[in-house]
Structure 1
Amino acid sequence: MSKEVLPGSCRGVCVKRLTNCIGAWHKSRYTGFTLIELVVVFGLILVLSGLVLSTVGYVRKKGARARAETEIAAMAAALESYKSDYAAYPRGNADLSNTTPYDTDTLDPVNNVNPAATPIPNVYTKASLYLYKQLSGDSAGNRQVTSKSYFTFKPNMLYPDDQTQDVQYIRDPFGNSYGYSTKKASDPSANGYNPTFDLWSTAGVAQSPTPAPPATLQDLWIKNW
């Protein structure tokens, strides 16, 4: 019995078709990602996202510190202008009463270290409000200037944001009350740093880092001493 042999042209066509079929099958089999490839891709995405977020957080914090330094320097300059007129730095109570001890003498920059506590400590807000009233010329705290102004506060420096409400305190870029104290000025033997006034932002730090340095919260503050 004789065997039939396909012509060369037919054999070429069959081989080509078979090759195409195998190639198509191979391509369809490896078109999608494997589980390992997906895990690697998602891992890289998470790492890159973490780097971006940490960088953004660092930039924001650095910007807030720079703004606080500028605001403290500007308020300190305004306090010098105030002293030129009154021969003394502002020292008193938020309600402008003569009751002692004054609010600005009560705030202690050595021991009253956390304005971010809930509720915000009155020692911070009262001293801050008194400073606002003296520098702004808004003695009622209702955002209406009625006397000489030594400093123009931007809306984002005052709490609350609602411009129709009375001011409660001067707000630092970290959302807390600025600290203002005349404790050392009232009593040289008392806690405090400057014999004139202490003005600071706690920079949003509520507790000392571990391990030190820095050894104290005050080392992390933005301050005029």
Structure 2
Amino acid sequence: MAIIYDTTMNPGKLDLLAAWLPGRPWYVATGQAPVPVKAGGFRLDDPEGEVGIEFMVVTDTSGGRQVAYHVPVTYRGAPLEGAAAGLIGTSEHGVLGRRWVYDAAHDPVFVDRLLALFRGDAKPQHQSASDTPEPGVAVRYEGPQVAGVPATELPEVTEDARGTEILLPGGARLGLTRTPAEAADAPSGVLAQWMTPDGATHRGVFASLSFGPPARDADAGA
């Protein structure tokens, strides 16, 4: 069970993301520095209790626009060896001390728990309350089951303007939607909610699981 502490992080998560987002291929530049605002999400538990896992949505309000970004992150008490490319930054947690914050796509514990969510072996948790299920998350998936991955095996990650893909053994692929759109009736994927600064609630696909060649390879051969 993840324990959510009522404390501070310095720098805060939104400050870290403001510096990190412009370097992503899926970020929509506005000509101004990002101004991310918390917009929703949920968590998954690490059975070992070592890694914090948060599916976070923020809305960038810079440039007079409101663009939502899905940024799953992991929190660790020490650097993840070999995953420097996925490091968002470090922060001082008011209770736990220094935390290394990673883009979760690069973290094998996140990949393992996301696969467990697709298998029905993990339960979504509230984003900001300890030991509290999050009923607003739905998993729609009828494909082959995929086993977990070793906690020491770094994922193979590719990303472009369309989002992020995590390549798995056996031809399986996890997709992370980075700019979620309203798709409450999507037939498959992990569906969750977020809220825009105007107070509107939206629901769409945060992650998908599929098989075969990566979408960008299929497009290239079309």
> How does the TM-score come out when normalised to structure 1?
0.23
> How does the TM-score come out when normalised to structure 2?
0.23
The structure in which a higher percent of residues are helix is 1
Larger radius of gyration: 1
The structure in which a higher percent of residues are strand is 2
